[in-house]
């Protein structure tokens, strides 16, 4: 498989992005607003319980939206994917820093039990950490790096030429495309969509390959 480490001084010269869409009418940001409003109401256990529930909804929806777009279903295609697996996948993809994710995991364990309401200090901390997570990842939701035309200073001898990196949200594949000069291959463009044609003639990397995560981290870091 092709590692991004084989290319030195890689940068993109043009790019396109997509907005990640979620099912439903309530966004992670809106759930977070609900949580803050619940907490401010200061109506004892009812307010705290509602605040925790809405903060969890915000956290789970944001992590689901991002991990699905980044391709988690390609490696976990069956059944419901647990929150810890989603967070682990997001860490591997470099979506947010380890410090935020570690704090998130730690405090989430405190508020996880469905029938125990934490005290106000813990609830406030939980809302704050969820807000950090949503804010740190929101740029990726609003501008997902689905394609980049790239240049680089040099590459290792065994590295293929790469001109475009294609990353359709939800597919779980990185496509490394280089300009095709073969007349027979280019003739296919008469009957094929150009995007599908480029993907057909690209090197494909999926989350089963550890190289995938290096490309994803570069795309996210270079774009954001």
| Tens-level pLDDT at each residue, the chain (224 residues) | 899 999 999 998 988 999 998 887 899 999 999 999 999 998 888 899 899 999 999 999 999 999 999 999 999 877 789 888 999 999 999 998 778 887 887 787 777 666 677 889 989 999 999 999 999 999 999 999 999 999 999 999 889 999 999 999 999 999 999 987 777 777 887 888 888 888 988 999 999 999 999 999 999 988 75
Domains in the chain, CATH or no CATH each: 4-18+144-223 (no CATH), 28-140 (1.20.120)
Q: Which among 223, 219, 221, 169 is positioned nearest to 22, based on CA atoms?
A: 169
Under a CB-based contact definition with an 8 Å cutoff, are residues 65 and 28 in contact?
Answer: yes
């Amino acid at each position: 498989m092709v590692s991004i480490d084989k290319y030195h001084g890689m940068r993109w010269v043009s790019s396109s992005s997509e907005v990640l869409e979620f099912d439903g009418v309530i966004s992670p940001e809106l759930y977070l607003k609900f949580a803050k409003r619940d907490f401010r109401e200061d109506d004892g256990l009812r307010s705290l319980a509602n605040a925790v529930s809405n903060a969890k909804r915000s956290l789970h929806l944001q992590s689901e939206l991002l991990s699905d777009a980044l391709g988690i279903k390609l490696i976990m295609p069956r059944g419901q994917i647990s929150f810890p697996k989603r967070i682990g996948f997001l860490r591997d993809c470099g979506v947010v820093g380890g410090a935020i994710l570690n704090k998130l995991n730690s405090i989430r364990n405190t508020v996880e039990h469905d029938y125990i309401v934490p005290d106000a200090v813990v609830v406030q901390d939980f809302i704050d950490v969820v807000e950090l997570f949503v804010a740190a990842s929101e740029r990726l939701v609003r501008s997902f790096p689905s394609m980049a035309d790239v240049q680089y200073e040099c590459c290792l001898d065994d590295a293929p030429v790469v001109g475009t990196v294609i990353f359709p949200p939800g597919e779980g594949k990185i496509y490394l495309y280089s300009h095709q000069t073969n007349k027979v291959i280019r003739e296919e463009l008469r009957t094929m969509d150009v995007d599908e044609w480029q993907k057909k003639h690209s090197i494909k990397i999926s989350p089963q390959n550890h190289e995938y995560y290096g490309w994803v981290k570069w795309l996210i870091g270079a774009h954001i």
